[in-house]
Chains A and B, each alone.
Chain A
Amino acid sequence: MKAFQSLLSRLKQSWPGARSLAEHPRLPTTSAWSGGGEAVQVKFGIMRIVAQTALYPLACVTLTTALMTLLLRYTELEFESIVYLTPVLICATQWGLISAIVSIFASAAVADFLFIPPVYSFAISDPQQILEMALFLLVALVTSNLAARVKKEVDTLHRHQHEIRNLYEFSRRLALCSTAGDLLKAIQDYLSAHLGCEAHLVRLGPLYAGPRDAEDAMVPQPIAREAKEMATAREPGSRLVTEPATNSLWALKNITTTTAEHGVLAVNLGKPGGATDELNDRIDRLLLEAGATLTRIDAAVALAKANMRLESEILRTALVGTASHELRSPVAAILGTASVLDQMLALQGDEKVRSLVEGMHVEAKRLDGDIQNLLDTARITDTGVKPHLVWTDPADMIAAAIRQRSHRIAAHKLNVDVDPKLPLVHVDPVLLEQAVGQLIENAVKYSPVASDITVVARVEEGEVVLLVADKGVGLTEEEASHLFWRAYRGRRHIGNVPGLGLGLWIARIFVAVNGGTLSADSPGPGQGTTMSIRLPITPSIAPELVPLTNAQGG
């Protein structure tokens, strides 16, 4: 009777109260819909089924019968079997078809027994009454069927409505998420609040690695292990795994976007059965929804990081550019002053002091070279390098590069072998002269005094090749592969040989913008290095002039 009262109160309050029963098709236990302020507490599924199929219909019929009896006793009204459609419809709309059918037969039995003559007997004497009873049964069956179907549809509608509202709530929460962590928390909350699923994130990395992975511990070990495996293998999509101990089904979903990997979401779907498939689908839909947001968040994070890097890069470039400019003037003054001192002391003939001045000159010159490299780096990063292409004699570039550094090369044995029949190349001579000069400086820097440095220019396989070979420290495998990186310095040389590690990076870019390639070749550490610049030969407009065959004529 208690259940019946609650039924009545719900009927009085609002019709859609019925949906609460449809809310948790899968949830036989404690969970209850908490959104509407009313609660139906049905302790056990079997009891509910008994109540719905027998208790409620019979109660309805009984109530109708009681009212009917009172009406017949105190009024002049005659019995109409159609009155029993009321409990039938209530049952159909409230508890479905089975409950309605139970109420139909109960109604028919009670009406026949109590109201249709002969009274207190199931027999019917009047053929009219037989027809009426048959009609009642037919109408009741049809209407209850219709009503049950409507109820089912309305229930579905309500369920969808509710689902949509939940999803809407969820999307709103998604929109507020600013980190992937927030979002994963939102997914977990949604799963536990609305689907009643326990969900935990298993991150990439070893199992139970630290306090950050405390969530791992919430997942049964075999499931967690499988999740880790999935995360490590970067396996996309999902897996279904049954945990042997409790025989519950777990869905493992890899949460990955194009820019980040977050881990694997382990969701407890409960005991295997019909509902798990639908649940799994709903989780997938949910993750699909969240995926877009996650991608947005990940992209925003990646973008912010890139922006920060870019900004710091611009700042650094500007700083380097300005600082270098400011440094250049005093260095020019030091170098000029050193040259004046050198001239003065030359007149006095004091060799000791002169060597000091020479030392000052060498260091200041090196400093100036470093500043030049920083300025070039700033220029490359800032505006890029646009080559000013003109027809150039490769021999001129080599000669100019050597001439600029004659002071520094003096202690080495320089051999120059330039093919006198080299074709002209269409390049920026200033950039290439700097590149060649850089190679020569490196050769001087990384080879012992008085060793050979060979500069060769020749044609090889349709290209002009400029080689600078030394007999110096050579290259290790690591050095050979990192040589042209910006600011890379061989580990052997850090602290021994001064430098910023910019020279070859700049040289490579200067060669590349001229359509050439720069490469390094070394048999190994201590066995010397050969650097080569390869330049394409562009067809010249005056081909007959380019190969100088009559060079010795005159």
Chain B
Amino acid sequence: MSLRKKWLRDKLVKERSVRKFDSPIQEMKPIFVSDHLSSKNICFFETACTQEFVLNELVSMLSFDDPVSISNAIREREESGSTVVTSGIAFPHARISGLGEIRAALGICSTGIQTNSEEDPIRLFFLFVSPAEDTRNHLRFLTSASSLFLKENFLHDLMELKTHEAVWLKILESEVKNKKVKVEMALSNA
């Protein structure tokens, strides 16, 4: 049985007992995009690129021994449902068994790359892979990425930047602003 199937089996549990609301949501450490993305993993693309090329390039930046299987996993996920989260932004991703931690790469194309779908051209590809065994952090990383990149004007601001370092610093800056608040909120909510 594959790990993914095992994960599914573990998750799809029949509810036996009545759950009272007195089991609070577990205390969770905030998770940030900048903790899993480095400036080395940020790449700028030209208009002429295809989506396939961009995804392969981003996967190759993650330094996997078998980048093809990672690309295939991402493609498979893409086929089950689009990862375009809003006009111009996509979060291609996959969940990989046995992976130690989340790895992410960012692709920027200021003029946009037309995907197979009828949606607007994509200007920001935030690709990541996460351990198949850790659903919670996978989902929370998606939430953090969404919280960061879908912020008003953030995409526009990123498009103005020309270097990897500047983009990474912009992300870091944005998250650091929230970091203190987020940690405080998480602690107060816990």
B and A form one assembly: no
Q: Which residues of A contact B (CB under 8 A)?
A: none
